[in-house]
């Protein structure tokens, strides 16, 4: 009386338990697959964000390079002007030194003649 199409109750219970395990394994597999799909989606989003960040970094680096080139050009011009100013200042300093030495020499000559003048200028 417990047989259905020749299957015993024990066999039917065994089949049920096997089907139950198989269903549980399939559910776990579905959950793992869903988690893997979600992780893959997050990885794709992260990769896209990384690509956007790389593009922004490249643009910033390009702008920084252009700015550095402009700064270097301005520095070169400053060096040229400063070098020219230094040459001119050195020339002016040398000229002023010569003028000072000449004036000093004239003063000494005048000072050396001064006692002679005062003696020769005295009434006789």
pLDDT single digits (tens) 30-65 = 999 999 999 999 999 999 999 999 999 999 999 999
- Distance separating alpha carbons of residues 92 and 84, to the nearest angstrom: 12
pLDDT at 122 over 90: no
Residue 120 is predicted with a pLDDT of 60
DSSP state of 122: S
Specify the residue for token string 């400053």: 78
4: left (phi over 0), alpha (psi -120 to 50) or beta: beta
Tell if the pTM clears 0.75, that is, is over it. Answer: no
pLDDT single digits (tens) 64-115 = 999 999 999 999 999 999 999 999 999 999 999 999 999 999 999 998 888 7
pLDDT at 123 over 60: no
- Distance separating alpha carbons of residues 114 and 112, to the nearest angstrom: 6
């Amino acid at each position: 009386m417990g047989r259905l199409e020749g299957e015993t109750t024990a066999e039917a219970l065994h089949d049920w338990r096997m089907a139950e395990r198989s269903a549980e394994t399939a559910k776990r597999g579905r959950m793992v697959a869903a988690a893997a799909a979600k992780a893959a989606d997050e990885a794709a989003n992260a990769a896209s964000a990384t690509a956007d960040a790389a593009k922004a970094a490249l643009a910033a680096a390009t702008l920084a390079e252009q700015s550095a080139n402009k700064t270097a050009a301005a520095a070169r011009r400053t060096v040229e002007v400063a070098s020219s100013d230094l040459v001119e200042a050195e020339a002016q300093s040398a000229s002023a030194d010569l003028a000072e030495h000449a004036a000093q020499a004239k003063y000494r000559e005048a000072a050396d003649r001064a006692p002679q003048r005062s003696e020769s200028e005295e009434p006789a």
